[in-house]
Amino acid sequence: MSWTLETEDMQLTVEAGPHAPRIVWAAGRRGWNWASRGTDLLLPRRLAVGESHYPPEWTYRHAELERLPDGDRLTLTYKARKFDITLTSVWTSRPGPGPVQHGMAIGNRTGRSIMIYDPQSLDVEFSAGQDEAEVFYVSKDRLAPRVISFQNRIGTYLEALTDRYHADVWTTVDSDDTGYVPLVMLHAGKSHGLYVGWEWNEGRIHVAGRNRVDGLYAAVSAGMHGDFCTELPDGETFEVPNAFIGAFEGSLDDGSNRLRKWLFNHMMPEANRTNEHIPYVQWNAFWNTGEPAGSWNPVEAKYYPMVDSVAEVGIEEITIDVGWWQKPGDFRASEERWPQGMDAASRYAHDRGMLFTLYFAFLDGWSEHPLALSSKGPTGHPDWFVHRWVADVGIDECRDFLKNVLLQRLNEYDVDTFRSDLSPIARSKAKGNTHQGCHDGPYWAQKGFLHIVDHLLANKPGLRFQNCNCGGAFKGYALMKRSTAVQVTDIYTALDVRQAVWDSVYVLPLMQLLTQFGDVASGGKSASDSYRFRTYLIGAPSAHFELPSEMPPEEAATLKRLVGVYKERVRPLVRHADIYHVLPRPDGVNWDGLQLYDPVRGRGMLTVFRPDNEGPEIFVPLQGLDPSAYYDIDYDDASLPPARTLGSELMERGLRVHLAEKFSAEWVFYRLAGSGENEGEDEGAGKGGGANESDGE
């Protein structure tokens, strides 16, 4: 028997093979079948019951196809030959653009514990045919986009798929280099492609090239590292993290645009989809409230003047970052540095029409307070901590203690957004972690952290989650599904921020990429106002540089104007536009930028930067336009006069940009001629300030 699941982008036909599901058709709209030879899904091949290790020899039992309001779900059930162990293979398609998801679960009814080894979410082989094919993947850019990618010091990788090719696109939760975003694209003939993504933050996608008589093939596996194993007690079920397969036509950007539409529709918080004011324009207090500036010791005396200053330029959300607490893990405000407390800090922001974000880290500060996460005192738990510092939320008791204390503090302080950092998912297990296995600590810790986040979001209406772990270490899709935004990198210069955004927007929505720009915190002011502020206002804007009240009046006025333009004209495009990499990856010398275009509303923009380049003018060919239509063009800084240009000319010759000075930038807006200045704008977009009043949740 076989069943076909469909989205707007692909058809996937799955057979119930006698020992494993078999994909016999995986095609995009063009009709190229990436599974032309048929490919069996390799199910877990090794289990242990007691002291005995054996291959499970899965046998097909039954199937169920459910036609649900939000898509179709196919469940295939297999059973191990010798023991009462079941495996379900679940395939889900949803209406609209995007991929088909696959998940697995293993149930143990043997009467005793079993050990599961190396479970893969997806392990199949795809055909690229006779076309030349390439493999594309993206670094997380967690620490420094300029140096973090060890292979060739770039953040995006485009490599020829050849016989004996292999790539290990690994991801980990915390280290100096946390690897890659868990998604790989195969691109054949530069005309069509297929992508495979994985939802977890610890594991890898492996790609191997194989030449066969009928062409080139790619073996793709997505799942845990090969040294993973974990115990499954009797009566329980082990959930293998989801993977997904999508097909696309056209360029890598075309594939990314279809992927991001699916992520927008199904893999981000509901507030992100429905609240047209997200992403809010944010200000992070890290630099401005530190004593000294930029330290981990923020002080209340600097906070209130900071709030007043940034309110004047239209900031919508305030973040108090690391170090506000009594001690790490003791989420009471420092009596010495914050005598009025966090509830007063929150109220002050709210009274000025701004939202309030507060930072938390799951660390041991050796407090003896009964509500502190700690190894000390009568309620302390030294067995909850890894290396006497990081809490292991893979321990159920630790997880439940934290979720309850956090919810209490979030309510007490009237927090709008919970910001995480500093290893909330531990890489190894603490002594109190009773899960038996090998290298399985991050799996259980991620399960625990997701449980905490879900609990907070469900029990504090309107709460949002801001995802950080020393920058963008957590760019796995399960956590992004819960994240209003992820900090894109932990280095704050203009170049690093733009590089990280340029890379990550291939595989993540722009509206979820938190810029965290702060050149003053990374060595000093880098360039002109236009260059700096437009770097800040790329995706989900967050800044920590000198206050508007510390700027010359004309500079503060520029920031205020650009924040207003972002709200009115840029933010709707950040939320809804297709994105094209029409200029090279930022390198500090060549012009760089991104094109945003919303074909539904007929408007778009080019955000463009001239760094240390001798040429004052370029023509940038645009993509995705109607060649036969005219577009009205206006330059935000009036660097050139307005123009009306035919789409074919903009796509062939390019959009003209002239910047007289080095280290300057421009926003060039364009719209279908005759659409009207305000026609198609999102209702309420551009209403500056008053973030609480316009929250819309």
CA distance 25 to 27: 6
**Residue 248 and residue 289 in one domain:** no
492 located within any domain: no
**Residue 260 and residue 297 in one domain:** no
Classified as helix, coil or strand, 622 is coil
**Residue 256 and residue 404 in one domain:** no
> What pLDDT, on the 0 to 100 scale, is given for residue 177?
77
Q: Which of 487, 519, 543 is the last residue of a domain?
A: 487
**Residue 375 and residue 473 in one domain:** yes
Work out how many domains the chain is built from and give that number.
3
**Residue 284 and residue 261 in one domain:** no
Asked whether the predicted pLDDT for residue 691 surpasses 90, the reply is: no
Would you say how long the chain is, in residues?
697
CATH of the domain at 624: 2.60.40.1180
pLDDT in tens, 32-78: 999 999 999 999 999 999 888 999 999 999 999 999 999 999 999 99
Asked whether the predicted pLDDT for residue 159 surpasses 60, the reply is: yes
**Residue 225 and residue 87 in one domain:** yes
Asked whether the predicted pLDDT for residue 176 surpasses 70, the reply is: no
Nearest to 199 by CA among 254, 154, 266: 266
**Residue 183 and residue 293 in one domain:** no
pLDDT in tens, 297-348: 999 999 999 999 999 999 999 999 999 999 999 999 999 999 999 999 999 9
**Residue 277 and residue 239 in one domain:** no
How would you class 513 by CB atoms within 10 Å of its CB: exposed for 0-12, middle for 13-18, buried for 19 or more? Answer: buried
519 close to 547: Cβ distance less than 8 angstroms: no
- How would residue 184 be classed by pLDDT, with cut points 50, 70 and 90? very high
In the chain, the largest separation of any two C-alpha atoms, in whole Å, equals 78
Asked whether the predicted pLDDT for residue 634 surpasses 60, the reply is: yes
How would you class 479 by CB atoms within 10 Å of its CB: exposed for 0-12, middle for 13-18, buried for 19 or more? Answer: buried
- How would residue 436 be classed by pLDDT, with cut points 50, 70 and 90? very high
Question: Mean pLDDT of all residues in the chain?
Answer: 94
**Residue 45 and residue 185 in one domain:** yes
CA distance 22 to 20: 6
204 located within any domain: yes
**Residue 254 and residue 318 in one domain:** no
520 close to 290: Cβ distance less than 8 angstroms: no
Asked whether the predicted pLDDT for residue 680 surpasses 80, the reply is: no
DSSP assignment string, 91-122: EEE-SSSS-EEEEEEEEE-SSS-EEEE--EEE
**Residue 25 and residue 156 in one domain:** yes
Asked whether the predicted pLDDT for residue 288 surpasses 50, the reply is: yes
How would you class 112 by CB atoms within 10 Å of its CB: exposed for 0-12, middle for 13-18, buried for 19 or more? Answer: exposed
184 located within any domain: yes
List residues bridging with 64 in a β-sheet: 75
> What pLDDT, on the 0 to 100 scale, is given for residue 488?
95
- What are the C-alpha distances in Å from 404 to residues 157, 385, 456? 42, 18, 9
- What are the C-alpha distances in Å from 519 to residues 79, 329, 531, 588? 57, 30, 11, 14
> What pLDDT, on the 0 to 100 scale, is given for residue 144?
52
Residues 6+ apart with CB under 8 A from 400: none
| Dihedral sign for Cα atoms in the order 340, 344, 345, 351 | negative
510 located within any domain: no
Q: Which of 218, 234, 267 is the last residue of a domain?
A: 267
Name the DSSP class of 363: B
CA distance 474 to 199: 10
CATH of the domain at 445: 3.20.20.70
> What pLDDT, on the 0 to 100 scale, is given for residue 676?
62
Domain that holds residue 324: 272-487
- How would residue 263 be classed by pLDDT, with cut points 50, 70 and 90? very high
- How would residue 603 be classed by pLDDT, with cut points 50, 70 and 90? very high
556 located within any domain: no
